[in-house]
């Protein structure tokens, strides 16, 4: 298997503060990691693709200055929600791509529930 760790699992913050979420691949290296957002009872929505050593690629409508992504090593990507507001409250989940023979599988972290007061 493959293990992806995401931290914190749950965070409450005041409006205007910044929150950093970490995503680590524990037993494999990941050139590419992905960040998704999920609203209650909905599917996953891709926010950005994070590539090690280069700038992230953001999906249309996702503010890059608000959702800062850093992929500084082959095992760690971080998402920082800057100046968080109540509308940023959501479930954020990351995945790391494990490359294999004839197939690449995305393994997911356990997600982070963000509540902005």
Partner 1 sequence: AQKITQTQPGMFVQEKEAVTLDCTYDTSDPSYGLFWYKQPSSGEMIFLIYQGSYDQQNATEGRYSLNFQKARKSANLVISASQLGDSAMYFCAMREGRGSGYALNFGKGTSLLVTP
Interface positions with partner 1 (CB under 8 A) = 31-32, 34, 42-44, 46, 49, 51, 91, 93, 95, 97, 99, 102-111, 113
Closer CB to partner 1, residue 7 or residue 91?
A: 91
- Min separation Cβ 25 and partner 1, Å: 13
- Min separation Cβ 28 and partner 1, Å: 13
According to DSSP, the β-strands at 112-116 and 4-7 are unpaired
Within 10 Å of residue 106's Cβ, how many Cβ atoms? 16
**φ and ψ at residue 93, rounded to 5 degrees:** -140, 140
Residue 86 three-state SS: helix
- Min separation Cβ 16 and partner 1, Å: 26
Closer CB to partner 1, residue 12 or residue 105?
A: 105
Closer CB to partner 1, residue 11 or residue 44?
A: 44
Within 10 Å of residue 51's Cβ, how many Cβ atoms? 16
- In the block, residue with structure tokens 């992806």: 4
Closer CB to partner 1, residue 88 or residue 107?
A: 107
- Min separation Cβ 6 and partner 1, Å: 9
Tokens encoding 76: 């760690």
- Partnered with residue 106 across adjacent β-strands are 97
């Amino acid at each position: 298997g493959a293990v992806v760790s995401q931290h914190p699992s749950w965070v409450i913050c005041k409006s205007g503060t910044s929150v950093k979420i970490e995503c680590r691949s524990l037993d494999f290296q990941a050139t590419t990691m992905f960040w998704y957002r999920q609203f209650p009872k909905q599917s996953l929505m891709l926010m950005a693709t994070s590539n090690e050593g280069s700038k992230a690629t953001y999906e249309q409508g996702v503010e890059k200055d608000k959702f800062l992504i850093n992929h500084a090593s082959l095992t760690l990507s971080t998402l920082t929600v800057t100046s968080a507001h109540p509308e940023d409250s959501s479930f954020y989940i990351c995945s790391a791509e494990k490359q294999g023979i004839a197939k690449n599988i995305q393994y997911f972290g356990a997600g982070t529930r963000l509540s902005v007061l």
